[in-house]
Structure 1
Amino acid sequence: KTADFSEKSFVVPIKNFVNESYCRDISGKVRSHQKIKREKGEFIGAFAPYGYCKDPENKNCLVIDSYAADIVRKIFSWKIDGFSLGAIAEKLNVRHVQSPKEYKKANGENYNSGFHSSDTPKWSAVQIKRILTNEVYIGNMVQGKQERISYKVKQRLDKPESEWVKVENTHPAIIRQNDFDVVQKLLQYDGRASKTSDSANFFSGFVFCGDCKTPMIRRVNQYKGKKKAFYICQTKNKGGDCTRHSISEEVLKRIVLKEIQAYTALFVDYQMIMEELCEMQVSYDQVIGYDTQISKLQEEYNRYYSLKASLDDDLKEGLISKEEFDDFRESYGRKCEELEQMIENQKKLVKQMFEGGVSATVQLEDWKKSLEIKELDRTLLALTVDKIYIYENKQIKIHIRYQDMIEKMKVIRRFYAEHRTECRKEVG
């Protein structure tokens, strides 16, 4: 008996060690395999995101679920229209739209979100925000947001966004990039709905004080039965050191619509110029050589590159110490990398415009709607305007979206004006 006990006391720890090593090895291999799949843009989740389903022919690919995708489009559209997250959830609940959990179970999936809920799960503001911020809806696969502590513990920990695995254009998009970007901007300010409405105020998230840069707030005056809405500086309203910067909502709507219509006409004009340049067989390289912005960036790059190259001589001549040499070298190198990237981005934009025209970046059809309407609506505002600054002297600065592209259009127009006769002769 003593011998049996001694043998067991010797064998059991060895078996435990072997089993432990085997489990650890298997866990490592599984994680490595999953990492490879994520980096290839293959979907490895147990359940497809709401709006998608797994491709029957390849479970690592996502295909659009037409019914759920339509709900996702409505959610994005309502947010652009100004509805709060809670109001969107309520709209879906009132219409008896099944929540993601309900919908998956109704389709035979043994889905459990991990959140405790009622027998009939309802839509919530948290679910709405999760959908509105998920890049999966623009065709990007984002995975690896969490990881298990170890193969022994099922608990998961959130990973920093810098460690997420994102692969672009892995599956069909439900939402356009343009609309997704607009919604992300609105969520930064996420103007709260007023007490009498489920929607945010018309200019909420767009209008800012030109001096203190804080969002302006909406006020309504009633005189002889008529209501008049206007915006004032939030800092002044709270007793801070600024002025009112007051402006009527109706006046601001008219001014902004007129500005959007002017830019729309500009975009249409540039689209025609781009088409004619393509007929003339003008390459984007010719225009890049004519771009003063790129030229200035290149000059700045050359200057920093020369400064970096001269550091060796400065060190040899004793003009700088070894410590200063290392600091300057790192600083100039970083600046060169930044400028190189900026130049590349500028060239890429011009190339993109030549390959796909203005509409490749600007949703031109959305802008064209402004030419047909007489009153600005919030959807058009969100699709076209970035920010509006109101100054005390009644000056208004409207930052239209695609400012980089607008600057490139000016370059292209100058090139076209100076070279069209020459180009036409060459084509002829």
Structure 2
Amino acid sequence: MARTSRKKAVSKPAAGSLPIPTAIYARLSHEDAAENGRVTIESQIEVIRNYLSGFRELQEAEVYIDNGYTGTNFERPAFQRMMQAVRDGQIRCIAVKDLSRLGRNYIETGHFIEKICPFFELRVISVNERFDSEGSGSGMLSAPIFHVINDLYSKDISQKTCSALRAKRQKGDFVGGYAPHGYQKDPENPSRLIADPQTAPVIRQIFTWRAEGLSCGAILRRLNQADIPSPGRYRFENGIRTNNNGKGSALLWNRHVLTDILKNQVYLGHLVQGRQLTSYYIGVPAHTVPPAEWAVCRNTHEPIVSEELFEQAQQAGRAGYEKCTGAHGSNAHLPQKRSVYGKKLVCAECGAVMRLHRSVSRNRDKVWFTYVCPTYAQHGRQGCSRRNIRQAELDAAVLESIRAQLAAFLRQETVCAELARRAGAQARLPQQGLPEAERLLAKKKKLFASLYADFKDGLLNVDEYRSAKALYHEEIAALEAEAERSRAPAEQLHALAHEGPRWIALAKQYGKAEALTAELVDALVSEIRVCPDGSLEIAFRFADMLEALSKNYRRAIEEGA
């Protein structure tokens, strides 16, 4: 296509230019809302829309809102969805009220604006700073300064927040995001806890059962069989979303939740807080705090259980622990084993990693080992249908499968040698230049790169530009697929010539193994799934290699090489 000389591109194209799909991004953290009630999501969106009305080439595509998320990192749901839209080509410009809405960590935000955005050809506009990444005015020069200011502001806010929370904890105010199970925040004073009439009776019943001598397993079964909502499920059903309750109604009571409740002094009317802390202003990430440093305030709210009932539950717990440890001591003379599978042995139904369990005879003279599904062990058929599989039977079946696969691999040794010879011969051939598909692909990409310039110069109107762009996209996609197909045989041949001998050596090393070991499983197995009917699905690390060897050898025979 003929070209005319181009003038310097201006920041605001003339009317009739192709609209640029623009995302409006608004963010508000809890600290922002508390410090200044005038900073709202709605006001941010209004300011951005008013500003964008002066840009005829920008067209609002979607509004992304992160309400209640910090600006010190980019782990925010709406921001991540927006960036996925950028990667999909649906968004080409992001507009924010100010750069602090984008992020308050100047290193990460600076990297985003200066590295990530140019890579995606993404334009960024900040209203308050008059910053436009497509321009070259004073806004560009001041952007790094704003990044530093935002980071310092975040650290200042972090320090003030930590100090304020510390003072509230010491005063006996509740500072958690949501109340412990059995309580709710007082509507008139969110820093105080009051009993939840729906869940407080459940807490009393749990302590009563434990004081009566019921084991944690028995209590869990009663709760789940009665379909009493677990804490995670209860929060989910009441509109409280956390990192741990995404499964909603599928969340059952589990041992971890139950033991936490039975140890928690909050049910005596005392607040124990500050067990996990984060201090961004001094660069300290989330960490567990030693018990001696916890903030403990007594008699801050109405207790759900009495001191007597709480102590009875603790005594029952200690008695159960002593009985368990005593039994372990009496079985110390019996053999013990560790799983050779690590995290590679999973229940095919629920996906849980199966655990090795030791069972002892009544006379304490015999022992056997079984792999059990922990979900079934804890919840029964409410959680999973698969029970267990004997360790000896499992090991024998896996070892037999490994031997069979290694024998099949060793039969390909001559194939590996032949493919290595072919790869070496191919490497010694003189280069014939790029394949036709790759040559055409490079040409089409070059033409596509100049397409927008032709449009801006007026050589193409909007309809012609869109039509040509769609055509080029189709042609480039087809040529990329063809080029990949043309490269694949040679690349696979060289990969097989390199990897084949290594797997042959492993097959020789482990082919006559007499026993299953962790080293053997780690080297050769990707995953083992135990199905509900007791059958096994074993994924071998070399399965793809074995299939590729056979396929390439057949191709070599067909080509007469």
TM-score, normalised via structure 2 length: 0.32
Greater C-alpha Rg: 2
Higher relative contact order (CA 8 A, sep 6+): 1
